[in-house]
Amino acid sequence: MTKIYALIDKGLLNSYKIDLKEFCNFLNEQNISVAQYRNKSNNKNDILNDLKTVKKYFNGTLIINDYIDYINYADGLHIGQEDLIKYGSIENIKKKIGNKLLGLSTHNISEIEIANKLDIDYIGLGAYRPTKTKNVSTIGGKQLLEISKKSIHKVAIIGGVKLSDSFDSYIAYKVIGSDLFRKFIELNKS
């Protein structure tokens, strides 16, 4: 069964005026076991404080997006293709993060084939649909589901994924951001 992998996006939290602690409690209530913290502001104090809050209130596995320097506050790291160049190699990244989880963004079959040769735990594959939370140049749609079968790693499908989407078992995670925020808001209208 495909599990939900939640995106805790600082930009969405701020735009919807959602308290991070309350959102973490909501994720626990939804029995979500994996969440990725994403903050593109580069405000180091905000990032550090948020990571401490998530670790305190979220019961699952916390993955941090991009910020390898904060790996001690998370259970894993998710990197993009550009980070492979930035850090030189997966081996360099693994030295820094140790035995913590490592995910890599992929967008097409050639990136999956490269990822298959790397010591990583999962791939993020997308974008599945258009999304307002991130600029994406390529939308893969159902074609992504076919090429995901080529991965030897667990696959996390991302980009416009909805709670109502269902995928075959070869998709380990459906990565959901905006749709979780919408559900949170609906449940907290009263």
Q: pTM of the predicted model, to two decimals?
A: 0.94
**In the predicted model, is pLDDT for residue 30 greater than 80?**
yes
What is the pLDDT at residue 1?
81
Q: What is the pLDDT of residues 64-85, one digit of tens each?
A: 998 999 999 999 999 999 998 8
Q: What is the pLDDT of residues 95-126, one digit of tens each?
A: 999 999 999 999 999 999 999 999 999 999 99
CA 127 to chain centroid: 12
| Overall domain count for the chain | 1
Q: Pick the residue with more confidence: 41 or 190?
A: 41
What is the pLDDT at residue 138?
78
**In the predicted model, is pLDDT for residue 135 greater than 70?**
no
Residue pair 142/149 in contact (Cβ under 8 Å)? The answer is: no
Q: Pick the residue with more confidence: 103 or 88?
A: 103
What is the pLDDT at residue 190?
62
Tokens representing 105? 């963004």
Where helices occur in the chain by DSSP H, the ranges are 10-16, 20-29, 44-57, 81-87, 90-97, 109-115, 142-148, 178-187
**Which CATH number do you get for residue 36?**
3.20.20.70
Residue 107 phi, psi dihedral angles, 5° rounding: -135, -10
Helices 44-57 & 20-29 angle (0-180, nearest 10) = 30
Domain with 88 in it: 3-187
**Angular region, 10: left φ>0, alpha ψ -120 to 50, beta rest:** alpha
Mean pLDDT of the chain: 94
CA 183-138-173 angle, to 5 degrees, is: 45
pLDDT band at 181 (very low <50, low <70, confident <90, very high): very high
